[in-house]
Amino acid sequence: MFPKWFGDWNAENPTNVFGPAILVGAVGGALFVAAMVVTYGQPFNDEFDQTGPRGTGMQIAAMTRSVDPTIAEYYSEPPYELEAGEQTAGELYENVQVLGEVSDGNFNRLMNAMTQWVSPDEGCTYCHVVTEDGDVNYASDANYTKVVSRRMIQMTQYVNDEWYAHVNANAEVGVNCYTCHRGQPVPSEVWFRIDPVTQATEGWASVQNRATAMSQSTSLPSDALYRYLLEDNRITVHDLESRVPGVPGEGDYASIQDTERTYALMNYFANSLGVNCVFCHNSRAFYDAGQFTPQWATASLAIEMVRDINGTFLEPLGPVYPPERLGPVYADAPKAACKTCHKGYNKPLQGMNMTADWPELTLVAN
């Protein structure tokens, strides 16, 4: 088929065709895989949670973690049916100042649940007085814990009613005593005012550069929770541009100290919910309110809610507590913040409905 000279030349000049063939095959295979990935998607892609409108690229890596261990200890019981002629707690018992319109059966059902949620080891006598002959005087207010518990019931009803938009932002969830207490008489992650944290300095320097629980073990200011979750101060940074006119702390310009307090508060939020900044903010437009995620609005409601319950319910209880229950510096009452409920999860108890079995705690008596 080919002339003799061509065969002789090939014999004298052998060519390795395997290298080019492998290269062409590898390039062709890569192009084929790329085409399949574009067409059908990356099969090993990480999972993401969408945090904003479709098409905006607002997403975060899916928050997968172990189940909150306190869920297993949660006690719940469906409401009892009303019996014909059944009396209310207010009609049967003395000194029932809240829940008086609840039926006898459901009143005692709730009291049992509160014992499981708050004082499973101490039992009913954590709040109620034991007399000298060993009986329990349920009507007495001699124990401060009973006075506090009554106020906490009112606070729980208030949160489920007045702050419905926050506690039910994503689904019907609400709160009850277990949301914060988790089987402990004193909830974890309550806080007290502790500034100044140094004695050798005054002013700005006295509230920072020392790792405390309030600063999340950083050098950021330790008074952010007091300034922003009890006092009604504006949460803001100095300015979003560099070299702007004006003096920090004067007029519309936030002080540099308030800017660092804001960073301290944001750091606290992230640790409380087990998330990072982009859970609420859009990383490509960090300060553009029009591009915040829906979670930002939920968090903004939470700030107002925490300020409300701290100022209305928790701080005024200071005179009721014994000295050992008060703060170490100002003898102030224990107060709540994000971590008191969330415990490091973006949804407390990972979104479990806490009011489904407890309408008594939603201001709907039965």
Average pLDDT over residues 216-222: 93
- Which range has the top average pLDDT, 32-36, 135-139, 245-249? 135-139
Given a cut of 70, whether residue 57 has pLDDT beyond it is no
Q: DSSP characters for 74-120?
A: ----PPPPPPTTPPBHHHHSTT--SSTTSBHHHHHHHHHHHHHHH-T
CATH fold for the domain made of 69-187+344-366: Photosynthetic Reaction Center, subunit C; domain 2 (1.10.468)
The answer to whether 313 and 338 have CB atoms below 8 angstroms apart is no
Identify the CA nearest to 335 among candidates 192, 215, 224, 227: 192
Q: What is the pLDDT of residues 286-313, one digit of tens each?
A: 888 888 888 999 999 999 999 999 999 9
The answer to whether 195 and 223 have CB atoms below 8 angstroms apart is yes
Q: What is the pLDDT of residues 171-195, one digit of tens each?
A: 899 999 999 999 999 999 999 999 9
The set of residues, in sequence order, having a beta carbon less than 8 Å from that of 126 and lying 6+ positions away, is 115, 118, 119, 143, 145, 185
Average pLDDT over residues 130-141: 94
CA dihedral 317, 319, 324, 330 (to 10 degrees): 90
How many other C-beta atoms are found inside a 10 Å radius of the C-beta of residue 85? 5
Average pLDDT over residues 39-51: 66
**What distance in Å separates the CA atoms of residue 141 and residue 150, rounded to the nearest whole number?**
10
**Does residue 37 come out as left (phi exceeding 0), alpha (psi in the -120 to 50 range) or beta?**
alpha
Structure-model confidence comparison of residues 35 and 301, the more confident one:
301
Average pLDDT over residues 234-249: 75
Structure-model confidence comparison of residues 342 and 247, the more confident one:
342
Per-residue confidence (pLDDT) for residue 157, from 0 to 100: 97
Per-residue pLDDT band for 65 (boundaries 50, 70, 90) equals low
The set of residues, in sequence order, having a beta carbon less than 8 Å from that of 286 and lying 6+ positions away, is 277
Per-residue confidence (pLDDT) for residue 366, from 0 to 100: 42
Give the relative orientation of helices 144-162 and 294-309 as an angle to the nearest 10 degrees.
Answer: 150
Rg of the Cα trace of the chain? 31
Tokens of 222: 């330790």
Helix (H) or strand (E) holding 59: strand 59-61
Among the ranges given (42-56, 62-76, 133-147, 223-237), the one the predictor scored with the smallest mean pLDDT: 42-56
Per-residue pLDDT band for 92 (boundaries 50, 70, 90) equals very high
Given a cut of 50, whether residue 344 has pLDDT beyond it is yes
CATH 1.10.468.10 range(s) for the chain read 69-187+344-366, 189-342
The answer to whether 200 and 180 have CB atoms below 8 angstroms apart is no
CATH classification of 189-342 is 1.10.468.10, yes or no?
Answer: yes
